Amino acid sequence: MISRRALLAAPAYLAPTRFNLLFLMSDQHQRRASGCYGHAQVRTPNIDRLASRGLRFESAYCPSPVCVPSRGSLITGLHPHSHGAKILEDALPSTSRTIAHYFAEKGYLTAAIGKMHFVDETQRHGFAHRLHEGDFTASLTPAQRQQVRHDHGDAGGINGSASELPIELFQDHWFAEQSVKFLHQNKAKPFCLWASFLQPHTPFRPHRDYFAKYVPEQMTLPPRPLGDLENGFPGNLVRAKERGWAQQSDEAARQSLVGYYGNVSQMDSYIGRVYDTLCELGLDKNTVVVYTSDHGEMAGAHRTWTKHNMYEESVGVPLVICIPDGPKGVRREIVEQIDLFPTLTELCGLGSVKLPGRSQKALIEGKRHTPREFAYSEYYFCRKVFTKDDRYVGRPPLLMVRTAQYKLNYLSWDRCELFDVQKDPGEFANRIDDPTLSGVVRELKLIAERQFRA
């Protein structure tokens, strides 16, 4: 028998109610672009399988529709104005306390494999084991590096085409294999593993086998009427024209969709590779698994691509959470990604943390809870990315407040947007000038300003 003294001295992670954490993450995955979210063309069998074994959230929102600030918020549980990494060039401060620090303090081995976009990769932000793009590049021969640069050098390219790279030369393939290796090597230890992939981010150049899964002529274009950007924030129209998106033909848009959907399916295969390994090792029985993306992708909606705006395609994210022997189904309540830090510490049995985000454990377990009344997000205009002349850089950020019925995109210095998302889910009719909705606008502005000051 184990003595009482030995039991008390045992590491806390031996408690049977404590779970591992596998956080599967992609980059720029539009919420709707998955089979489990009802898309009729995109093939995502592995994400769909995860969703069938857990909970799928239909109204999850990112804290900022751009990589660096959103990822900083995911691991700190703070909004960008609080953690400080506001634009693409900002490194998350080394003093930031992250979910990795928290899990490590509880006796977990922490790892981040893949794209975390720390900007300053000398900082590990609490992840004891770290592999990133530089490590992948170092694993290649000089000839292979040149081959990868030639094939994937256009990081912002939306023209869909097939890559002729061998599958082994995709960095996401390497990240998936390194994640599998980590699971095998650490299956007997409590772990917090972030397996994070670059796809389906631009360039839309998947491996030829995934590109071949889709036919341009069969692609259904999203609604993209001419002129629908003309009655809102003018910066969105300026950006669409500068990049040639506003002038893109239907034929070219379908070709872009083939590339994007091919990227989605290729990323899905890596999700499956890591998750299959978890199950083969029997670790799914004591591991909480999360799938999400840092933000969405416009994918041609409103004649726009990538992100950097507050349309649903950009700011909405897929979110699936699987708990061993946990609930299954769909949750339609509004949640924010900053809720994940406090939610996951409780789901893994590590107790509660005090953060701006709200633990959704009760919601997940179907217990009595107070649902969110709104989602909040903020966007700071990035240099050389939003417009060529940086006309908006340095101005106060775009703030979004999204309730069950309305969405306000608030700028203190330019034209705002108000959408009735129940009657106008495509967000085509800007109601900001409607006098019957002035009270709604006033209330949502106050919320936006309060959240930004918090």
Q: What's the rounded Cα separation, in Å, for the pair 97 and 53?
A: 31
Q: Is residue 411 part of a domain?
A: no
Q: Is residue 295 part of a domain?
A: yes
Angle between helices 250-280 and 171-185 (to 10 degrees): 10
The pLDDT, as a whole number, for residue 226 is: 85
CA-to-CA separations, 52 to 13, 36, 37, 47, 319, in angstroms, rounded:
28, 8, 11, 9, 13
The CATH number linked to 297 is 3.40.720.10
The pLDDT, as a whole number, for residue 12 is: 36
How confident is the prediction for the chain on average, in pLDDT?
A: 95
Q: Is residue 443 part of a domain?
A: no
Q: Which of 148-162, 360-374, 375-389 has the lowest mean pLDDT?
A: 148-162
The pLDDT, as a whole number, for residue 55 is: 98
How many angstroms from the chain centroid is the CA of residue 330? 19
Q: Is residue 429 part of a domain?
A: no
The pLDDT, as a whole number, for residue 17 is: 75
Q: Is residue 311 part of a domain?
A: yes
Q: Which domain holds residue 125?
A: 17-372
How many angstroms from the chain centroid is the CA of residue 280? 27
C-beta neighbour count of 172 within 10 angstroms:
27
Mean pLDDT of 29-58: 98
Q: Which distant-in-sequence residues (6+ apart) come within 8 Å of 150 by Cβ?
A: none
The pLDDT, as a whole number, for residue 153 is: 82
Residue 94 confidence (pLDDT) above 80: yes
Q: Is residue 181 part of a domain?
A: yes
Domain count, the chain: 1
Q: Is residue 238 part of a domain?
A: yes
Q: Is the peptide bond prior to 203 cis by the omega test (within 30 degrees of 0)?
A: yes
Share of the chain above pLDDT 90, in %: 93
pLDDT tens digits, 136-176 = 999 999 999 999 999 988 777 899 999 999 999 999 999 99
Q: Is residue 73 part of a domain?
A: yes
Q: Which of 7-11, 260-264, 305-309, 365-369 has the lowest mean pLDDT?
A: 7-11
